Structure 1
Amino acid sequence: MYRRHRASAAFSLSFLSLVFSITAFSSSYWCEGTRKVAKPFCKGDSKGDLCIRFNSPDGNGSQAVQYIWETGDDKFVEKKFHAGIWYSCEEMINEEGETCRSFISLTPASDRGVLWLSIVAELLYVVLLLTGNILMSVEICYYSSVIDGLKINAFSAVVTVLAGLLGMVAHMMYTTVFQMTVNLGPEDWRPHTWDYGWSYGLAWTSFACCMAAAVTTINKYTKTILEFKHKRKKLERSFRIQYRFPEHTAPEKVCNVYVNSFQNTTDDPAHALRSLRHLATISVL
């Protein structure tokens, strides 16, 4: 029962990690901030603080002198932007909506290789998380053999640990690429202020859940092995006392005596023999 609870806890953590990683990978809110851009000229009857107004003493004639009253910071406006692995979007001035550009095209040429490695690592991270979820779900629903369940448990632990390492490397590489793009990217994109967004936090939460699932899975495997070894030692000790075997007696003889005695008292000898073979296999581990 306790092993089933630990398996369910590991599966829940791994499933949360998978959902968080897919959500973060597909979003464009890894980083958020503002860009400082010059205000456009007001057109027609448009007025407001988001465009530069003209003031002319004579509204007629093309030779009239026009005055611009905005000076210093008044000539600039801050536009919000957000960027992810795939896109960088910023709001439009005096209009609703956003304009988006590929983040790969904004990255300096010297850092695009690192960005592609980050993308590949993120994809492998998602694939390994999905594989670990499938293995854990099979383990929960698998009732045929304890040994086979332990094998699946060990393999899912290895896959989950590898997924966590890949996720950590991918997140760190993207962080490095974004910081280099801020310093060396196009002039018409460089942010004035920026900070990490909710997708970035979600990505690292996914990594934390992944490593917690891996630790839970390894803990379940270790505890199961220790429980079987403890039960085997108690079984050998009880048979040594009952049949007065010497201490150097091989465990196989103890198992044979146990099988012979157990077959005489149970209605399913084949099941008893399978259980003892599983126990003997675990004793070798």
Structure 2
Amino acid sequence: MDRAKRQRALTLLPICLALAFSLTALGSSHWCEGTRRMTKPLCQDPLGGLNCIHFSQAKGSSGREDDGNQAVQYIWEMGDDKFIQRRFHVGLWQSCEESLNSTDEQCRSFWSIIPTEEQGVLWLSIGAEVLDIFLMLTSALFLGSRVSFHSSGFNWLKVDASVAILMVLAGLLGMVAHIMYTTIFQITVNLGPEDWRPQTWDYGWSYCLAWGSFALCMAVSVVAMSRYTTAHLEYTEEQRAQKGRQYSQDCSPELDASKKVWQTRAVPIPTGHALVNVLGHPGAPGKVSVC
């Protein structure tokens, strides 16, 4: 493998890594993470919990146990003790939060949480993410196919230019998609349903992967464009050098003939002919005869 193919094979690594980051972020629900404050549920244990007492446990006059309609619970927790913090995480597709009585999570669609007027913006964000992935996949396939087969120098220039354009477009689309999603989430935090609004939140690892994919796209585009500029200059200089050598080879017979003429010091002078200087230059060694 020559040097050019080796460089382009190494370029495939960050492209594939950026593609993997975007695919993982697209399917993940950890773009934003945080906690939500909610009131503790009433004691469900018939014997009472640690901080509550069931007042009525006696049997009714009919001999049957009371159905619990008149039961009273006394809870002496006050202030922040009446609330619990439940962790949640949100992605492009769904929002999940911890379950109270098990280690499972309760998930619901993110579409049902965001305001209705912002759903179109979320569609645009998802569409930009999908198009971003498509452009990166196209760049990887195009560069991989060119590395696998032999190509001339001019074709390599086309490969570098195409990869640079595709990757910069992918990076810009990803950036726009991430900004739109951030705006939608912040609007949902302020205007979303009361049973979902978080108390504290921050960006998750999926959001970091998405921006990491953007950084890789821009880095690959800069490297590809730099290599294209350098290779284009080298290719142009090589073409000029070839044309110069060809021109010198075509003109060499004429130059040799003229050199022989100018190197001739004198010609025979017939009797009765005057002598004049060549081209009117005094002291010129070459002489010709004139009638």
Normalising to structure 2: TM-score of the pair? 0.76
Judged with a 3 Å threshold, the aligned counterparts in structure 2 of structure 1 residues 173 and 232 are, in CA distance, closer, same or farther, namely: same
**Which structure 1 residue ranges, 5 or more long, are not aligned?**
246-285
Q: 1:84 and 1:124 mapped to 2: Cα distance?
A: 18
Once the 2 structures are TM-superposed, how far is the Cα of residue 152 of structure 1 from its aligned partner?
3.0
- Asked if structure 1 preserves the Cα contact closer than 8 Å seen for 2:37 and 2:85, the reply is yes
Letter in 2 for 1:157: A
Q: 1:225 and 1:160 mapped to 2: Cα distance?
A: 19
Matches within 5 A, 1:175-214: 175-214=182-221
Judged with a 3 Å threshold, the aligned counterparts in structure 2 of structure 1 residues 148 and 195 are, in CA distance, closer, same or farther, namely: same
Once the 2 structures are TM-superposed, how far is the Cα of residue 47 of structure 1 from its aligned partner?
3.5
Matched positions, count:
241
- Asked if structure 2 preserves the Cα contact closer than 8 Å seen for 1:55 and 1:68, the reply is no
Deviation sequence 1:44-63 (CA, Å, 0-9, x none): 25735xxx62264x753776
Judged with a 3 Å threshold, the aligned counterparts in structure 2 of structure 1 residues 149 and 46 are, in CA distance, closer, same or farther, namely: farther
Q: 1:116 and 1:173 mapped to 2: Cα distance?
A: 10
**Which structure 2 residue ranges, 5 or more long, are not aligned?**
60-67, 253-291
Once the 2 structures are TM-superposed, how far is the Cα of residue 11 of structure 1 from its aligned partner?
1.4
Q: Greater Rg, structure 1 or structure 2?
A: 2
Q: Which segment drifts farther, 140-149 or 104-113?
A: 140-149
Once the 2 structures are TM-superposed, how far is the Cα of residue 157 of structure 1 from its aligned partner?
2.0
Residue 23 of structure 2: aligned partner: 22
Matches within 5 A, 1:255-274: none
- Asked if structure 1 preserves the Cα contact closer than 8 Å seen for 2:31 and 2:205, the reply is yes
- Asked if structure 1 preserves the Cα contact closer than 8 Å seen for 2:31 and 2:91, the reply is yes
Deviation sequence 1:67-93 (CA, Å, 0-9, x none): 210111111000000000001000011
Residue 53 of structure 1: aligned partner: 52
Higher relative contact order, chain-length normalized (CA < 8 Å, sep 6+): 1
Once the 2 structures are TM-superposed, how far is the Cα of residue 165 of structure 1 from its aligned partner?
0.9
Residue 8 of structure 2: aligned partner: 7
Q: 1:159 and 1:109 mapped to 2: Cα distance?
A: 34
Residue 133 of structure 1: aligned partner: 140
Among the aligned pairs, what percent are the same residue? 48
Once the 2 structures are TM-superposed, how far is the Cα of residue 241 of structure 1 from its aligned partner?
5.9
- Asked if structure 2 preserves the Cα contact closer than 8 Å seen for 1:6 and 1:217, the reply is no
Aligned-residue RMSD, C-alpha = 2.2
Matches within 5 A, 1:92-131: 92-131=99-138
Other structure's SS at 2:195 match? coil
Letter in 2 for 1:210: C
Q: 2:58 and 2:48 mapped to 1: Cα distance?
A: 19
Once the 2 structures are TM-superposed, how far is the Cα of residue 123 of structure 1 from its aligned partner?
0.7
Other structure's SS at 2:23 match? helix
Residue 41 of structure 1: aligned partner: 42
